[in-house]
Structure 1
């Protein structure tokens, strides 16, 4: 492909990737849940509008386009039957745009000569470094103010410490890769870069040990074990780097805190912490409305007294979007995972060319860990985690597109034009809807005082999309048959951990 064709048929110029990576770096620095959500919404809208205006080649097969549109159609049908069409449609549009952003960024990564897989991995490392910097500031502030060290204090920029753990699930594998790949900057020696990364990684692990992120623990152990077994020497080296960082982090945690608080007792806890209750609620609604569900985001309208999502991605799709949509979601994810694993092994067998083996292993470990964690937490809901979901997925997709050389100019066939119209139209509508909704909601619900009532206060700290993400008290949810009696006391809700 010529340079002229590369520019003409690119989904987005490199400035789009640059803006996205700047946003990713800002994720741990921005204060509050709303700031991340607003930034993510702006970037999703920008990517969608640019791609729609360009009317570029769609880097998807007909089956992929059909599956994506089918899921969106099922979501809209479910939204039409829900108690709040505007909120349900928001989740449909948002989910659609997350997928579009991952595809668009992957396609541009395969074409770009300035943004490479290594630079994306470096941006993730820098994001973690900025996160650690904000924690150091919090520790310093606590020292000069006489406050004691507490886990929430050390993750002050995250609305909930479990959102911080979700951020760790995605990023920890890339710190291990950065120790192997060497310095990405000409002015910095490899030895200095590795020392810097190891210091950041050890401190990041120390925060993990103290925070008690059990979901991150299980997901990381399973993913690391898998790559160590499946990817030969590169996988074992990754596991060794992860173990070294984790062990050093434990030593640092013991040095900072007392032995009793250095490792959170929650790490070894086998209790479901309310998840069984949330899963039972989801199951009852699935049985009551299996085909189209109760409506996207409408689980947040149920006064569970605990959380605005069922802490399981598959159950969330099934209860809200319906079983058919959940089957399409899961089938598509399984297909993409197996396709990536096949490609990753093929790339690792090559002696030369392509991304560094450590980067391939880290991308695989991050994808697997994020997917596993989504089965016990709200990984698919929170803005920091969604930022990384799109980033890591786009990274894998960009490597795959480049390897398969699927960067030819668009065909002028009728089928290709039909695909453009079929996908770009909904993309333009989705971009516009999430933008308009965000502006109105930011003005009406975030800036204006929220109505005060016991039910609303009990669910305030379970955000789903905005700071007061719960729909409880705003929307009357459908009641499943034989609905169990709920505690209506005024005690504050405790998030499932």
Structure 2
């Protein structure tokens, strides 16, 4: 047991941080999750440095992918230098580098420790979803037992600054929860318990009313269904659990309240519409920015440098990247993402009849990534710190599981040290930003409220607007 804890210390530390900042304790919300992202990023850099010293670092990228990433990095540096507020632009670039470090560290961990780490990871996902489900159910029971005549479902979703951020977390975890249901050796009692948990997790996703989660999971189910037998089994379990979750939702938040004479506020059924929720204004601003500066964009994070009352980011990943980093950088990112998705999809088709845990794990991770990328087309998945953490972990794990024609080889020592130096600089800049802002966040929020008014618009911090107040 002690040996296992020592070998997986990085994983256990990161899991503990993810658990704490998901709202189980007081340290939750956007700003604390940004701190958690920084801590996990620093742990990842230290882990990569340790592997480099021990000669354990392995390269998981092909030369073409490395070249594309270098182009993105150089484009980001040029865009940041030309930005209105270079310090904020380099801060956003540093967040990207730390996310890359997190993905690399988890990939290295999986390559070294193998299938045992898969079991620990899925066990952690089951654990954190169970805790969040119990938290939701206890809040629901407490709400029904009070004498109030109105029940606000938004108040049942604890631990996140916005229920959409909760929905993003569910988009990552719903696909992963189905893995034990696909494993043939799993006992029937375990499968029954997991199906109940998955159904309840779906009920919470429906109650939250986050349409991006519904859209992302719909896309994941459709794509998985096209990937052969294993994908169809996964899609079948998800549809069954979603149906059970919908029935539970109708029972708890429609039939029971009607019988008790309780009015439901923020009912999820009201979200069944085609409204863009003012996203069209954000998309129009992003499109205007792209037209004005197509090559380098306005600079990373600089959508938030042009104030609007709706959002500090466009709620659309492609428009955000193009308006801030430029069209060439966007094409590089889209090319890398598309290549990874196609290659992984083809591998899943090839392994469609496999019952090996590693192949089923790859399927669930792929579905999670498809769902998240789909949601990123209408939501801030690539902006929110907790979602960025999960995205980095999912990508890193998929990289580690990918089959290669030749084994992963040790990375070049000089390039390895240069990469670590970049990561240390990125961590240092984010640390500077935290030390500068975090003790004064409340004052900064009040100043922003006096200057601009309106609600908080999250970006790096919960109040993410970086535009200077009008004279």
Q: TM class, shorter-chain normalised?
A: 0.7 to 0.9
Contact 1:286 1:293 in 2 (8 A): yes
TM-score w.r.t. the length of structure 2 is 0.88
Stretch moving more, 289-298 or 49-58 = 49-58
Aligned to 2:3: none
Shift of 1:220: 1.0
User: Is the alpha carbon distance of 1:344 and 1:468 closer, same or farther for their aligned partners in structure 2, counting shifts above 3 Å?
Assistant: same
Shift of 1:379: 0.6
Unpaired segments ≥5 residues, structure 2: 1-5, 259-263
Measured in 1, the distance between the counterparts of 2:320 and 2:303 equals: 8
User: Is the alpha carbon distance of 1:197 and 1:53 closer, same or farther for their aligned partners in structure 2, counting shifts above 3 Å?
Assistant: closer
Q: How many residues align?
A: 450
* Equivalent of 1:258 in 249, 254, 259: 254
Structure 1 residues 304-383: aligned runs within 5 Å = 304-350=308-354, 353=356, 355-357=358-360, 359-383=361-385
* Equivalent of 1:299 in 280, 297, 303: 303
Structure 1 residues 91-240: aligned runs within 5 Å = 91-113=92-114, 115-143=116-144, 145-147=146-148, 148-181=150-183, 190-231=187-228, 233-240=229-236
Aligned to 1:19: 13
Aligned to 2:49: 52
Contact 1:456 1:472 in 2 (8 A): no
Deviations 1:282-318 (A, max 9, x none): 0111111111111111111222211111011011000
Measured in 2, the distance between the counterparts of 1:256 and 1:343 equals: 42
Measured in 2, the distance between the counterparts of 1:214 and 1:425 equals: 41
What SS does the aligned partner of 2:140 have? helix
Deviations 1:414-445 (A, max 9, x none): xx234224422212211222223223221233
Contact 1:278 1:310 in 2 (8 A): yes
Stretch moving more, 268-277 or 46-55 = 46-55
Aligned to 1:72: 73
Aligned to 1:463: 458
What SS does the aligned partner of 2:351 have? helix
Aligned to 2:90: 89
Measured in 2, the distance between the counterparts of 1:85 and 1:36 equals: 24
Measured in 1, the distance between the counterparts of 2:321 and 2:344 equals: 23
Stretch moving more, 144-153 or 302-311 = 144-153
Does residue 44 of structure 2 align to residue 31 of structure 1?
Answer: no
Stretch moving more, 274-283 or 60-69 = 60-69
Contact 1:151 1:211 in 2 (8 A): yes
Stretch moving more, 293-302 or 146-155 = 146-155
Aligned to 2:242: 246
Deviations 1:339-362 (A, max 9, x none): 2112223334556x56153x3322
Contact 1:24 1:388 in 2 (8 A): no
Contact 1:25 1:124 in 2 (8 A): no
User: Is the alpha carbon distance of 1:116 and 1:343 closer, same or farther for their aligned partners in structure 2, counting shifts above 3 Å?
Assistant: farther
Measured in 2, the distance between the counterparts of 1:474 and 1:37 equals: 24
Contact 2:21 2:159 in 1 (8 A): no
Shift of 1:144: 5.2
Shift of 1:45: 1.5
* Equivalent of 1:277 in 273, 281, 287: 281
Contact 2:103 2:395 in 1 (8 A): yes
Measured in 1, the distance between the counterparts of 2:42 and 2:443 equals: 22
Contact 1:14 1:114 in 2 (8 A): no
Deviations 1:25-59 (A, max 9, x none): 33422432222111111110221133235433443
User: Is the alpha carbon distance of 1:282 and 1:175 closer, same or farther for their aligned partners in structure 2, counting shifts above 3 Å?
Assistant: same
Contact 2:107 2:397 in 1 (8 A): yes
**Higher fraction of helix:** 2
Measured in 2, the distance between the counterparts of 1:49 and 1:73 equals: 24
Contact 1:214 1:266 in 2 (8 A): no
Measured in 2, the distance between the counterparts of 1:176 and 1:210 equals: 20
Measured in 2, the distance between the counterparts of 1:453 and 1:110 equals: 48
What SS does the aligned partner of 1:149 have? strand
Unpaired segments ≥5 residues, structure 1: 1-11, 185-189, 477-497
Contact 1:84 1:475 in 2 (8 A): no
Aligned to 1:484: none
What SS does the aligned partner of 1:157 have? coil
Aligned to 1:436: 432
What SS does the aligned partner of 2:151 have? coil
Does residue 415 of structure 2 align to residue 419 of structure 1?
Answer: yes
User: Is the alpha carbon distance of 1:44 and 1:426 closer, same or farther for their aligned partners in structure 2, counting shifts above 3 Å?
Assistant: same
